[in-house]
Amino acid sequence: MALLEVDNISKRFGGLLALNDVSFSVEKGEILGIIGPNGAGKTTLFSVISGFAPPSSGEVRFDGQRITGISPDRLTRRGLVRSFQLVQTFADMTTLEVVTTAALTRRPIREAIDYAAAVLTRVGLGGKLDETPATLSLQDKKLLEVAKCVATDPQCILLDEVMAGLTMAETEAPMQIIRELNQSGVTIVMVEHVMPVIMRMATRMVVINFGEKIGEGTPDEIIKDQRVIDAYFGEHLDA
Amino acid sequence: MIGKGFYQTLASPWLWGVLAVAACLPLVLNSYHLHLLTLALVYVALASAWNIVGGMAGQISLAHSLFIGTGAMLSTALLLKFGINMWAGLVIAAAISGALGAMIAWIDFRFQLGHLSFVLITLAFAEMGAIIVEGWEFLGGASGLLLPRDTGDLLAFQFGGGHGAFWVMLGLAAIIVLVNVAILNAPLGYYLRTIRDNEKAAQAIGVNVLRHKITAMTISAVLTSIVGTCYVRYLTFADPYLLATPTITIEIVLFATVGGLGRPFGPALGALLLVPLGEVLRGQLGGAVPGLHYFIYGVVVIVVILATPRGLLPLAERAWRGLRRRGPEPRPASVS
Ligand SMILES: Nc1ncnc2c1ncn2[C@@H]1O[C@H](COP(=O)(O)OP(=O)(O)OP(=O)(O)O)[C@@H](O)[C@H]1O
Ligand SMILES: [Mg+2]
């Protein structure tokens, strides 16, 4: 059954059509990879799905129900959570406090504190519970983005380039976490530029270029799709 | 439910030791010093109540003179004009203040005008409140209202002047500081701090921004109104220029900032240091150069903010930890 359905979504910023009639669906339990060149509209797509940006037209359904127009915090409480490509910082809180807040989505306070510490340990930030997010390295900030999402006990996570800027060796830990999460039943939608990573992780992929969906299929199909090669990989060769 | 930190504070011998010693002070202080301390406690209570919305939630409210004014002027007017017992007046005023606070928080959310909107909207409401109080005879108009003499009749909200007023303010200040500690350790405290630090990211992790802003503002307004009612009983004279104009809010914001925003004991520390300082300065210098004490206040604030941007409390905490590490095990209930 489809957990998340994106139906003919368009998003206009003034004269710019950032998303043009995009449709796809995500099955319960899968890892869907979304790829596309810079500025293709991937983050905008996440903002529309997660309720941060209203679509100009089209609708999104989650668990069979229309969620367009519902606020981001309500969607998180319903089990659909996003991470931010631009890592978010908190000036005067510790990582433990931030992740505890996320854990309060579904847990009473004392349990939330213990659970937040456990989640932070699981993503590898166990030694940094009392540090301020602003002082973390980029890699750790990305891990914190993952930890915040996980602590809300979601059904579906939208991960926006959580491995950008990491070396191949550094991607191993987050990949393992995401796999474990998926095995525990969480549906994952991930945007990633690191091709080897997304090829190994995704069960299915959607390709976006200039706001339009130009391809969809398993990683093997995508890598052979001529339209995708031209639009996506072609641009990289030009650059 | 509330986290462990709150119960640890409640169980701290230091808390009860300080309160016990403070409660004995009326027996040894002269009436001028007792007055200074009572006044300081009024501002401890006000700054701590403001801290819930201004410090923890980071919403710099300048509306609080509205709540002090409602607590003070309305309860006095209800007593004088309708003979309504001041205990009932306290409750009525607190309910109205809470409703006003909720409404202001909601209006700010509905008509977001950018980062400064909360400051400006709350200031606009405070100014409107001041105009209403000064122009409306029922609330005393520009000349204010005079309460009947305090004969110590508890049922009539009278605490017998000096000592009684001090104990009332001490109790009220302690309760409001403890409310701060409770909120900080409760889910609300976590929600408010994420809202303060990053509203968008707070929403993404499930925090209902509007609801918690309204809750914070309502709690803060109700507590502030109650302090207003107790303060006017102590003053006996309900002066609209003191109690219902934004100047008093500016003082509160200043004390809270110097002490340490968002921390449960920060605003209390700021008020305890600055109120007596201000009063002494005014006593010494006020006659010669009116307003000079405000100037010196300003200098103190600027120096403190530059030296320790998070306020004096973090500084005091570091010194305290240093002392405890070096010195012998502190004896409980002995306070220097
Ligand atoms: N708030 C906004 N206002 C105006 N234009 C925007 C806004 N957000 C995004 N855009 C534009 O929409 C287009 C898509 O941007 P988006 O961030 O979604 O791309 P992306 O696929 O996530 O790119 P990247 O790989 O660099 O993260 C870009 O041209 C961008 O400049
Ligand atoms: Mg992006």
> So what's the ipTM on this one?
0.93
Average pLDDT score over residue span B178-207:
96
CB-nearest to A110 from B4, B190, B202 is: B4
User: pTM of the predicted model, to two decimals?
Assistant: 0.92
The half-sphere exposure of B193 on its side-chain side, counting CA atoms within 13 A, is 28
Residue A238 has pLDDT above 50, yes or no: no
Which sign does the torsion angle of CA A74, A79, A80, A81 carry?
positive
Q: How far away, in angstroms, is A43 Cα from ligand 2 center?
A: 4
pLDDT confidence of residue B285: 74
Residue B333 has pLDDT above 70, yes or no: no
The gap from C-alpha B138 to its chain's centroid, in whole angstroms, comes to 26
Q: Please indicate whether residue A42, judged by its CB atom, sits closer than 6 Å to ligand 1.
A: yes
Asked if the Cβ–Cβ distance from B2 to A101 is below 8 Å, we say no
Average pLDDT score over residue span B202-227:
97
Residue B335 has pLDDT above 70, yes or no: no
Give the other-Cβ count within 10 Å of A156's Cβ: 24
Asked if the Cβ–Cβ distance from A52 to B198 is below 8 Å, we say no
Alpha helix positions (H), B25-112: 31-51, 64-69, 75-82, 86-110
| Atom of ligand 1 at shortest range from CA of A41 | 18
CA–CA separation, B60 and B49 (whole Å): 13
Q: Chain B: nearest CA to A14, how far in angstroms?
A: 20
Q: End-to-end CA distance of chain A, in Å?
A: 40
Tokens of B82: 């309708």
Quickly state the pLDDT bin for B326 (edges 50, 70, 90): low
Q: Which CATH architecture has domain A2-233?
A: 3-Layer(aba) Sandwich (3.40)
Average pLDDT score over residue span A173-191:
93
On average, the pLDDT of chain A sits at 92
Q: How far away, in angstroms, is A82 Cα from ligand 2 center?
A: 13
CB-nearest to A92 from B185, B204, B262 is: B262
B153 touches chain A (CB under 8 A): no
pLDDT confidence of residue A232: 65
Q: Please indicate whether residue A86, judged by its CB atom, sits closer than 6 Å to ligand 1.
A: no
pLDDT confidence of residue B330: 46
* pLDDT one-digit tens code per residue, A73-127: 999 999 999 999 999 989 889 999 999 999 999 999 999 999 999 999 999 999 9
pLDDT confidence of residue B115: 63
A94 touches chain B (CB under 8 A): no
Mean pLDDT check: name the lowest of A214-223, B207-216, B218-227.
A214-223
Structural domain of residue B216, as residue ranges? 4-245
* pLDDT one-digit tens code per residue, B16-56: 999 999 999 989 999 899 999 999 999 999 999 999 999 99
* pLDDT one-digit tens code per residue, A39-52: 999 999 999 999 99
Average pLDDT score over residue span A130-156:
93
Quickly state the pLDDT bin for A222 (edges 50, 70, 90): confident
On average, the pLDDT of chain B sits at 89
pLDDT confidence of residue B289: 73
Using a 10 angstrom Cβ sphere, with 0-12 exposed, 13-18 middle and 19 or more buried, the burial of residue B316 is middle
Q: How far away, in angstroms, is B251 Cα from ligand 1 center?
A: 45
Question: B122, B63 in Cβ contact below 8 A?
Answer: yes
Which comes out higher in pLDDT, residue B306 or B225?
Answer: B225
pLDDT confidence of residue A235: 53
pLDDT confidence of residue A187: 97
* Total domain count, chain B: 1
* pLDDT one-digit tens code per residue, B236-268: 999 988 898 899 999 999 999 999 998 899 999
Residue A10 has pLDDT above 90, yes or no: yes
Share of chain A above pLDDT 70, in %: 97
Tokens of A194: 């690191």
Q: Please indicate whether residue A79, judged by its CB atom, sits closer than 6 Å to ligand 1.
A: no
Using a 10 angstrom Cβ sphere, with 0-12 exposed, 13-18 middle and 19 or more buried, the burial of residue B163 is middle
Q: Is B156 within a domain?
A: yes
Quickly state the pLDDT bin for B310 (edges 50, 70, 90): confident
Residue A236 has pLDDT above 60, yes or no: no
Q: Is B35 within a domain?
A: yes
Domain edges within chain A: 2-233
Chain A residues with beta carbon closer than 8 angstroms to that of B187: 104, 109, 112
Q: Which residue of B has its CA nearest to A95?
A: B194
* pLDDT one-digit tens code per residue, B58-97: 999 999 999 999 999 999 999 999 999 999 999 999 999 9
B200 touches chain A (CB under 8 A): yes
Q: Is B167 within a domain?
A: yes
| Atom of ligand 1 at shortest range from CA of A47 | 18
pLDDT confidence of residue B336: 35
